[in-house]
Structure 1
Amino acid sequence: MEKHITSAISQAFGKFANEEFATPIQNFINSSYVSLMGLDMSEFHAPQTYSSLNALFTRKLREDRVFSLDSDDFISPCDSLISECGVLESEYALQIKGMRYNSDELLGEHFSSEEKAIVHDGTFINFYLSPRDYHRYHMPTNLKVLRAVHIPGKFYPVNIPSLKKRVNLFVENERVVLLCETQNQKRFYIVLVSALNVGVMQVAFEPRIKTDADALQSSSYSYENLYCNKGDDFGCFEMGSTIVVLAQKDMLELDVKAGENVKYAQTIAKLVI
Structure 2
Amino acid sequence: MCQASLQRAPLNTRKWLHFPQLALRRRLGQLSCMSKPALKLRSWPLSFLYYFLPFGALKPLAKVGWRPTSRVALYKSIPTRLLSRAWGRLNQVELPMWLRKPVYSLYIWTFGVNMKEAAVEDLQHYRNLSEFFRRKLKPQARPVCNSHCVISPSDGKILHFGRVKNCEVEQVKGVTYSLETFLGPQTWTVISKGEDDSGSFQDLLVTKDGNQLFHCIIYLAPGDYHCFHSPTDWRVAHRRHFPGSLMSVNPGVARWIKELFCHNERVVLSGEWVHGFFSLTAVGATNVGSIRIYCDRDLRTNSPRYCKGSYNDFSYISSTNKEGVCMRKGEHLGEFNLGSTIVLVFEAPKDFTFNLKAGQKIRFGEALGTM
Q: TM-score, normalised by structure 2?
A: 0.68
Instruction: Give the secondary structure class of the aligned counterpart of 2:117.
Output: coil
Structure exhibiting the larger radius of gyration computed from Cα positions: 2
Q: Of the candidates 146, 165, 170, which is equivalent to residue 261 of structure 2?
A: 170
How much does 1:181 deviate? 1.0
| Partner of residue 151 from structure 1, selected from 235, 238, 242 | 242
Q: Which moved more, 1:189-198 or 1:48-57?
A: 48-57
Contact 1:4 1:154 in 2 (8 A): no
Residue 30 (structure 1) aligns with: 104
The higher-RCO structure (CA 8 Å, 6+ apart) is: 1
Partners of 2:124 and 2:113 in 1: how far apart? 14
Contact 1:129 1:135 in 2 (8 A): yes
Q: What is the CA–CA distance in structure 2 between the aligned matches of 1:104 and 1:228, rounded to whole Å?
A: 25
Residue 341 (structure 2) aligns with: 242
Alignment partner of 2:349: what SS? coil
User: Which residue, out of 146, 149, 159, partners 1:69?
Assistant: 146
User: C-alpha distance in 2, partners of 1:133/1:264?
Assistant: 10
TM superposition shift of 1:248: 1.7
CA shift at 1:185, angstroms? 4.7
Does residue 233 of structure 1 match 2:324? no
Residue 110 of structure 1: CA displacement? 6.5
User: Is the counterpart of residue 179 in structure 1 residue 270 in structure 2?
Assistant: yes
Pick closer, same or farther for the CA change 1:219–1:89 going to 2, 3 Å: same
From 357, 360, 369, the counterpart of 1:257: 357
- The answer to whether structure 1 residue 203 and structure 2 residue 293 are counterparts is yes
> CA 1:19–1:110 in 2, change beyond 3 Å: closer, same or farther?
farther
Higher strand proportion (structure 1 or 2) = 1
Q: Does 1:131 align with 2:231?
A: no
Alignment-derived partner of residue 6 in structure 1: 80
CA offset digits 1:38-84 (Å, max 9, x no partner) = 111111022332111111111111225222334x5211000010011
Q: Which digits, 9 at most, give the CA deviation of each residue in 1:227-273, with x for residues without a partner?
A: 11111111111001000001125274211121111100001112x5x
Per the alignment, residue 94 of structure 2 pairs with 20
- Aligned residues: CA RMSD: 2.1
Q: Which has the higher helix share?
A: 2
* Change in CA separation of 1:179 and 1:168 when aligned onto 2, cut-off 3 Å: same
Flag the 1:101–1:33 CA change in 2: closer, same or farther, 3 A.
Answer: same
Look up the match of 2:176.
100
1:158-178 C-alpha deviation (Å, 9 max, x unpaired) = 001101101110000000000
- Is 2:205 the partner of 1:118? yes
Q: Deviations over 1:186-228 (max 9, x none)?
A: 1111011000000101100011111112352521111232111
Distance in 2 (alpha carbons) for counterparts of 1:52 and 1:42: 19
State the distance in 2 between where 1:23 and 1:245 align.
40
The percentage of counterpart residues that share the same residue type is 28
